[in-house]
DNA sequence: TTTGTTGCTATACAAAAGGATACTGGTATC
DNA sequence: GATACCAGTATCCTTTTGTATAGCAACAAA
């Protein structure tokens, strides 16, 4: 019961929350991580990315790429071909996200498996997309 | 240049994107991870959480807690005191998120440091919250 | 000359997320 | 009796995110 109210140290916890908030802020939205992962297999052009991430509209893709550029995860290079060729590439700094990406990816995989088991056992569960 | 267009294996990449999407879906929003971290220091009551996560409105907190319950990250226990006491607690399953949380927290810390350096050097950069 | 491609931008709109504020029922305290 | 606490709900509003659709400039191919 709660006759002994828990006193939080607070400190570490608050710092951790602030740090997570920063990360969430930079990676915010549905598309930033998917774009980064798509670029992992090599530089891509605008249309390539649109095709790979099906369902993303050019407006959003453009916006997300700009933010990724500002955060120095992605570079944008224009070649004077015709029609113009624009190549997007990952930066060295984007590699610092690798561990985050791996953990999120692993977790997603195991969670999906778990959900499948749960639904076979007919337990209530939130559905995936 | 792009005379040799890169052919993506696609496979692994697509799977990874799907897995990340699942993770983003389950952890979606501004508050789920902060709530989980807040609960790491022990069970909390509704008001406690509101105080710890300052600025969260009861409506949002209530909604997020329900989703966390559905996803089996959190349990809700009601004690028949008066006024009623409701305690929120982390489940065993929530611990599977630990690695994700650690990596995101670490990344956020280093990123903030980097941003501070960048702004001292007066390079343009996206601001943190 | 028409059609197509690329890399976007512009406009309008819809949906989702989040916030502000007020309130409720039950009980305890002043 | 008035006020306050708890655990939320209810209502309304703003902001963010995302979609749909159209268009443009510069070519290139048919």
Average pLDDT, integer, range B97-125: 86
Q: Would residue A34 count as lying in a domain?
A: yes
Q: Which of residues 19-38 of B touch strand D (CB under 7 A)?
A: none
In a domain, A8, yes or no: no
Domain of residue A25: give its range: 17-120
In 3D, which of A33, A47, A120 has the Cα closest to residue A85? A47
Specify if B70 maps to a domain: yes
Mean pLDDT value across residues A105-122: 88
Residue A39 placed within a domain: yes
Would you say residue A10 lies in a domain?
Answer: no
Find, among B97, B91, B56, B49, the residue nearest to B70 by Cα. Answer: B91
Average pLDDT taken over every residue of chain B: 86
Contact call for B23 and A108, based on CB within 8 A: yes
Question: Where residue A57 sits, what CATH number does that domain have?
Answer: 1.10.10.10
Query: Shortest Cα distance from B48 to chain A (angstroms)?
Result: 10
Domain count, chain A: 1
Q: Higher confidence at residue B95 or residue A1? A: B95
For residues A87 and A8, the model is more confident at A87
CA distance A71 to B108: 13
In a domain, B129, yes or no: no
- Answer whether B105's CB lies under 8 Å from A20's CB: yes
* CB of A5 lies under 7 Å from some atom of strand D: no
Q: How many CB atoms lie within 10 A of CB A82?
A: 6
| Domain presence at residue B2 | no
Tokens of B28: 């979606």
> Is position A125 within any domain?
no
Confidence of residue A35 (pLDDT cuts 50, 70, 90): very high
Whether CB of A54 is under 7 Å from strand D: the answer is: no
Verify if strand D has an atom below 7 Å from the CB of B47. yes
* 3-class secondary-structure state, position A4: coil
CA distance A24 to B28: 10
Chain B residues touching residue A18 (CB < 8 angstroms)? 108
pLDDT at B13: 81
Do A128 and B22 count as a contact with CB atoms less than 8 A apart?
Answer: yes
pLDDT by residue (tens digit) across B51-108? 999 889 999 999 999 999 999 999 999 998 888 999 999 999 999 999 999 999 999 9
Could you say which of A24, A70, A112 has the minimum Cβ distance to residue B126?
A: A70
Q: Is the omega angle on the peptide bond into residue B83 within 30 degrees of 0, that is, cis?
A: yes
Q: Closest residue of A to B11, CA-based?
A: A41
Residue A129, pLDDT > 90, answer no
Chain A residues in contact with B25 by the CB 8 A cut-off are 128-129
Inter-helix orientation angle B32-40/A11-26, to 10°: 160
Q: Which of residues 88-117 of B touch strand C (CB under 7 A)?
A: none
């Amino acid at each position: 019961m709660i006759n002994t109210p828990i006193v939080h140290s607070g400190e570490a916890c608050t710092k951790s929350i602030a740090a997570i908030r920063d990360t969430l802020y930079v990676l915010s939205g549905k598309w930033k991580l998917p774009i980064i992962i798509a670029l992992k297999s090599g530089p891509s052009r605008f249309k390539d990315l649109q095709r790979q991430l099906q369902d993303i509209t050019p407006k959003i893709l453009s916006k997300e790429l700009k933010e990724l550029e500002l955060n120095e995860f992605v570079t944008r290079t224009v070649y004077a071909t015709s029609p113009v060729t624009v190549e997007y590439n990952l930066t060295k700094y984007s590699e610092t996200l690798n561990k985050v990406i791996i953990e999120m990816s692993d977790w997603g995989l195991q969670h999906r498996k778990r959900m499948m088991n749960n639904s076979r056992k007919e337990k209530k569960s939130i559905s995936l997309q």
